[in-house]
Amino acid sequence: MEAPHSPAAEPAEATARFTLHTPEETQELGRALAKLLRPGDLVMLNGELGAGKTTLTRGLGEGLGVRGAVTSPTFVIARVHPSLVGGPALVHVDAYRLGGGLDEMEDLDLDVSLPDSVVVVEWGEGKVEDLTEDRLHVVIHRVVGATDDDRRVVTLTGLGTRWAGVDLTLR
C-alpha cells in the first residue's frame, strides 16, 4: 500500500486517498480503517462492479472482530455480523438492487441498527444520506477494460462533525 495522498483540506470534511495494488492491500486498508470506526458510524461504499467494495468490507469485519464470513449481500440485501469482542456489530448492506431512496431502505430498519452498529452500505449514494449528516464516503476507482492492472485508488471522505479532525490517512 503506497502512502496516502492528502488533497487540499475542505471545511467539515476529512479526506485521504490511497493507491492499492492487490486485494490484500484493500483488505488491509479495511482493517486499518476499522480502528477509527465506532457505533453509529455510516460508511457508504461506491465503485464499479468488481472494484473491491466487499473486499474492503471484509477487512472492516476483521478489524472490528465480527462473527461470520463477510461476503457480498447482493441477494439478501443485508447481513448482520455480531461482534465477537464486545464492539459494535457490522451491518453490511448492498443497495445495488434497491431503486428508491431512503423510503425503500426503511424496510431494512437501518435507522434502528445505526446507533449501536457500524453500518456499511455498498451502492448507497443517493439512497442513505438522510440517515445521518455524519458519514464516511469511500469511493474505489479501478482501471477498467482489458488489462491486468489491479490498481485501485481509494478516496475516503468523512462528512459532518463526527469526522472533523479525524486523521483518515490512518497514521
Whether the predicted pLDDT of 151 surpasses 80: yes
Q: Which amino acid does the sequence have at 14? A: A
For residue 4, pLDDT beyond 60:
no
> What per-residue confidence (pLDDT) applies to 71?
83
| pLDDT at residue 54 greater than cutoff 90 | yes
Q: Taking 50 as the threshold, does the pLDDT of residue 8 lie above it?
A: no
- H helix runs in the chain, sequence order: 23-34, 53-64, 102-105, 110-113
Whole-number Å distance between alpha carbons of 114 and 42: 7
How many other CB atoms are found less than 10 A from the CB of residue 63? 21
Nearest to 39 by CA among 90, 107, 109: 90
Containing 111, the helix (H) or strand (E) segment is helix 110-113
- The pLDDT, as a whole number, for residue 33 is 97
In terms of average pLDDT, the best of 111-115, 141-145, 164-168 is 164-168
Name, of 25-29, 68-72, 113-117, 123-127, the range with top average pLDDT. Answer: 25-29
What residues are paired with 120 via a beta bridge? 43, 92
Predicted local distance difference test score (pLDDT) of residue 99: 59
Q: In angstroms, rounded to a whole number, what is the distance separating the alpha carbons of residues 152 and 17?
A: 10
**In angstroms, rounded to a whole number, what is the distance separating the alpha carbons of residues 52 and 152?**
8
pLDDT of residue 80: 84
